[in-house]
A and B are shown apart, each in its own frame.
Chain A
Amino acid sequence: GAGVSQTPSNKVTEKGKYVELRCDPISGHTALYWYRQSLGQGPEFLIYFQGTGAADDSGLPNDRFFAVRPEGSVSTLKIQRTERGDSAVYLCASSLMNSPLHFGNGTRLTVT
């Protein structure tokens, strides 16, 4: 596909469980971003990768959140000990340098 692919599209988990959200960026895009959109809010920045390294992780809310991009392409956002407040749509975006972000359709995470 030509766009950013995120899986799963929906994830329901119980409080305290561990979840992984996957992002497959547009081929050739070196920059990859994770954003989180809570109900009634705009997307909020979580983390930015340039290649394999996290160039800016200042938006991660706490140490339960972690993201990796080991080969500079696919990225995984990992959330440990999930809490109900983590419920949101998690958006991944990719881009070429200094170009607008292309967003995926997001993963809707519900923590019960």
Chain B
Amino acid sequence: DQQVKQNSPSLSVQEGRISILNCDYTNSMFDYFLWYKKYPAEGPTFLISISSIKDKNEDGRFTVFLNKSAKHLSLHIVPSQPGDSAVYFCAASVYQGGSEKLVFGKGMKLTVNP
């Protein structure tokens, strides 16, 4: 069973507009959430994270929102740029004494059109 779900496989937006990527999870024990970005033939690259004690974390053009009651998080990218085109993975973990044993979603392919 998928503990982390990214229900939309792809998203296409115009350059300069907002991109909103959604993620749902089922395990209420998750206490740390991350977004990774992946270009073809490369490994995933860490983008932004949020602890379960927060509901928002912002880093430049990227903001992650966490709604614990709904078990939902989202990544907002604004303004979107063509270089943001990639596959985005949502991931979650339970703190286990330092182990980042992440559970990933299936990913969403974002295309930003010039």
Contact = CB atoms under 8 A, between A and B. Distances in A.
B105 A42 contact: yes
Interface of B: 4, 34, 36, 41-46, 49, 89, 91, 96, 98-107
Contacts of A104: 43
A39 to B, nearest CB: 11
B43 A45 contact: no
B100 A33 contact: yes
Nearest to A89: B43
A31 B100 contact: yes
Contacts of A50: 98-99
A41 interface: yes
A105 B42 contact: yes
A13 B44 CA distance: 25
Given A55-B99, A56-B96, A106 B43 contact: yes
Interface of A: 4, 31, 33, 35, 40-45, 48, 50, 55-56, 59, 91, 93, 95, 97-98, 100-106
A103 B41 CA distance: 12
Contacts of A101: 46, 100, 102
5 cross-chain pairs, A with B, having the tightest CB-CB distances, nearest first: A42-B104, A103-B43, A100-B46, A97-B98, A103-B44
Contacts of A31: 98-100
A100 B43 contact: no
